[in-house]
Structure 1
Amino acid sequence: MRRRTYLRTMALGITGFTGCIKSTGSTTQTSTANIDQGVRIKTIAMNLEVPWGADFHSNGDLYVTERPGRIRRIRPNSNDIVADITDQIAHSGEGGLLGFEFHPENDNLAYTYQTYDSQNGLRNRIVRHRINDEFERERTLLDGIPASSVHNGGRLAIYDDALYVTTGDADNKGQAQDRDSLAGKVLRLTLDGEPHPDNPFDNEVFTYGHRNPQGLAFRDGTLLSTEHGPITDDEINVLDAGNNYGWPTVTGMGDQSDEFTNPIATYTPTIAPGGATFYDGPISQWQGDFFFGTLAGQHLHRVQIENGDVVKQERLLEGEYGRLRTTFIGPDKHLYVTTSNQDGRSAAPAPQDDRVLRLQPA
């Protein structure tokens, strides 16, 4: 198992965020910064309702899910609803129409993560859609994922012909340690929905012991996740097949036993990290850095990682756009960020909210 050694806790007293950041490996410095004058922020879509999942089609169109149950296609000067499945979705608390990914080889197929009302109460499922048929369901890949009004996970990511899925503990802590449960896990499936043949437990489970993972990002074959803690200890984790990430037995940094895998960074008080990505675009000072939006923190978080250790962190856009959820890289290599100010947790959404922002060289 991947182990990290806790070296230092550094107290911070910076406007908008007071508390501690714990990181492992080497000393971490965190600062608050305004976006450099060489970076331009452009709104490419507005008047959305809780945008959650996002992916670019091979033709360059951006598709975004809205949590109540709609899929929008965003083009220059247009923002159209291309599918409305609100009657199939249970927009309950944090649940709804969440993650979204296109099939990497068949651009007529897309995947969504959905919360819905079953005969046995709320459940989550993974559905594959036919795009050219108004996003009709082609098949349900996986059903019966435990759901609740909170802690539904919901992030999808595709890498090396495998579909990765984050699931929350569905407000039932014990499920996260049960390897036969789909809750509190990161799952790995084939693109047709079967358990991946390289999974460690002969089922869908890739890693376990998670509370509510919200972001997935790959870099050179290494998978990182962001995860919501309770009152303390949001986490960045490096995910290795079969590893146990501790919840609810351990939050944040645990002991040095081999039972649990420690995060590479934790955040107290919590900032609620969302969707994550690695930057490989034209802004040279950001090359290779790990980015994620924060909901409670209301900033864009930048993390520099060297040799598996967090060495520097920076908070950008702090308080400027409110709650930020999903970050992703477009085919133009620019960094995109969605706001989440229409989710009932923002005191004062702006008239244009919710929005998709693009960060690019000025």
Structure 2
Amino acid sequence: MHRRRYLAALGAAAAVGGCAGRPRSDGTAADTASPDPDPDGGGTVDGGDDPDVAVETLATDLEVPWGAAYRDGDLYLTERPGRIVRLADGVEPVVADVPVKAVGEGGLLGLAFHPDEPYAYTHQTYEPTGGGTANRLVRHDLTDGWASEPLLTGIPGAHIHDGGRLLVHDDALYVTCGDAASEDRGQDPDVLAGSVLRVTLDGDPHPDNPSGSPVFSYGHRNPQGLVVRDGAVYSTEHGPQVGDEINVLTAGENYGWPEVTGPSDDDRFTDPVTSYTPTIAPASAAVYDGPIEAWRGDFFFGTLVAEHLHRVRFDGGGTDPGVAAEERLFEGEFGRIRTVFTGPEGHLHAVTSNRDGRGSPAATDDRVLRFVPA
């Protein structure tokens, strides 16, 4: 089978750390050892000389990888059509086939692991009884072949704007939910769409939420990035043609969609840390604490429309950051970049999303990339 050949080559690819760039017009691979700075908002990050960065290709021939998480040293990925894949030498790559409704931006999306118990969580688009499209949070028992147990169902879904990112933090599970193509849902705190949810690890509304529902914050269009920085939860969010956002999430706050995009003078709404116009489609979030000294403490996300790895340096911490500088890295080298995350040794990783119907796939797409010191 094709996937077994791919897995057998994984160890060699990781050890060699070969070039991972998109083909040049002359058919050779692009050298990705030095990122190109491109100011965006605050100017180029001042980290001394630009670090030399090598890009390793850990896996190829994936089909729209979306969620990513390490467990016991192995990397697990979701593929949007409904597969969970484990990347490790000598192991069958597909560990579970998950029935989902893989339409448009929906399907098998976010992935996270329980910090102590043998459970995984996924965000899934499905067709409920009676038809239509909805999203759900599902827990998988790793001791029982990834058996599924729905924890939260009936989250509004659609062809677009399904959110999908999961984050485990402080004994809670955070879930991003897009507005499911209905803007008005963003301003209704009683609807699970257009919001970020916070539930217990058993799927119940978190007792510290501002109401008895799972809703943690609302007024969101399509948030797809979640990460903890200095104890605070940060998100990235897709705007329409204007106003992509980085937000610090606070319980009960209203982030404005669809009344406003980006910052406003309206006290009803919480302003983003920064916003981007025209939109670049930020699709993830990670904080770097790895071996590349010039990147330590910086905030990274992948972009779909702008096709680059985005680096942000903040000049404040926790819930009160300010953007000191920004930089576009590897612009156009890999196409659409969705999920950016860090591994157990602190290395920054990224997955491409060129086979999602909106990209121009290279022969080896989709891929998992790892950024290491050159």
TM-score, with normalisation over the residues of structure 1? 0.88
Are the aligned partners of 2:40 and 2:326 in contact in 1 as well (CA < 8 Å)?
A: no
- 1:337 counterpart = 2:326: no
Residues 116-141 of structure 1, C-alpha deviations (whole Å, 9 max, x = no match)? 0112410000000012322111x211
In the other structure, the counterpart of 1:350 is 362
Picking from 37, 40, 44, the partner of 2:54 is 40
What is the alpha-carbon distance in structure 1 between the residues aligned to residue 90 and residue 59 of structure 2? 9
Higher strand share: 1
Residues 146-174 of structure 1, C-alpha deviations (whole Å, 9 max, x = no match)? 00000000000000100000000000011
In the other structure, the counterpart of 1:264 is 273
Q: Secondary structure at the match of 2:143?
A: helix
Instruction: Point out 4+ residue stretches in structure 1 off by more than 6 angstroms.
Output: none
Amino acid at match of 1:112: T
What is the alpha-carbon distance in structure 2 between the residues aligned to residue 77 and residue 339 of structure 1? 24
Residues 181-222 of structure 1, C-alpha deviations (whole Å, 9 max, x = no match)? 000000000000010000012210100000000000101211
- 1:313 counterpart = 2:313: no
Q: Secondary structure at the match of 1:199?
A: coil
Amino acid at match of 1:101: A
Q: How does 1:50-65 map to 2 (within 5 A)?
A: 50-57=64-71, 59-65=72-78
Q: How does 1:1-362 map to 2 (within 5 A)?
A: 28-30=42-44, 36=50, 38-57=52-71, 59-76=72-89, 80-85=93-98, 88-106=99-117, 108-118=118-128, 119-137=130-148, 139-255=149-265, 257-307=266-316, 308-347=321-360, 349-362=361-374
Residues 24-82 of structure 1, C-alpha deviations (whole Å, 9 max, x = no match)? xxxx1147x9x95632110001110000000001x201000000000000014767111
What is the alpha-carbon distance in structure 2 between the residues aligned to residue 329 and residue 113 of structure 1? 20
Q: Secondary structure at the match of 2:93?
A: strand
> How many pairs align?
333
Please report how far the alpha carbon of residue 21 of structure 1 lies from its aligned counterpart in structure 2 after TM superposition: 5.6
Amino acid at match of 1:229: G
Structure 1: which 5+ residue stretches go unaligned? 1-15, 23-27
Residues 300-348 of structure 1, C-alpha deviations (whole Å, 9 max, x = no match)? 000001111011000001000000000111111100100000101113x
Are the aligned partners of 1:45 and 1:79 in contact in 2 as well (CA < 8 Å)?
A: no
Please report how far the alpha carbon of residue 264 of structure 1 lies from its aligned counterpart in structure 2 after TM superposition: 1.1
Q: Secondary structure at the match of 1:112?
A: strand
Q: Secondary structure at the match of 1:273?
A: coil
The alpha-carbon distance between structure 1 residues 17 and 298, as it changes in their structure 2 partners (threshold 3 A), is farther
What is the alpha-carbon distance in structure 2 between the residues aligned to residue 246 and residue 77 of structure 1? 49
Amino acid at match of 2:311: R
Are the aligned partners of 1:163 and 1:191 in contact in 2 as well (CA < 8 Å)?
A: yes
TM-score, with normalisation over the residues of structure 2? 0.86
Are the aligned partners of 1:21 and 1:266 in contact in 2 as well (CA < 8 Å)?
A: no
Amino acid at match of 1:242: G
Residues 85-140 of structure 1, C-alpha deviations (whole Å, 9 max, x = no match)? 2xx2000100000000011101x210000000112410000000012322111x21
Q: Secondary structure at the match of 2:101?
A: coil
What is the alpha-carbon distance in structure 2 between the residues aligned to residue 246 and residue 202 of structure 1? 22
Q: Secondary structure at the match of 2:271?
A: coil
What is the alpha-carbon distance in structure 2 between the residues aligned to residue 17 and residue 96 of structure 1? 35
> RMSD value over aligned CA atoms?
2.0
Identity of aligned residues (%): 57
Are the aligned partners of 1:179 and 1:205 in contact in 2 as well (CA < 8 Å)?
A: yes
Structure 2: which 5+ residue stretches go unaligned? 1-35
What is the alpha-carbon distance in structure 2 between the residues aligned to residue 97 and residue 145 of structure 1? 14
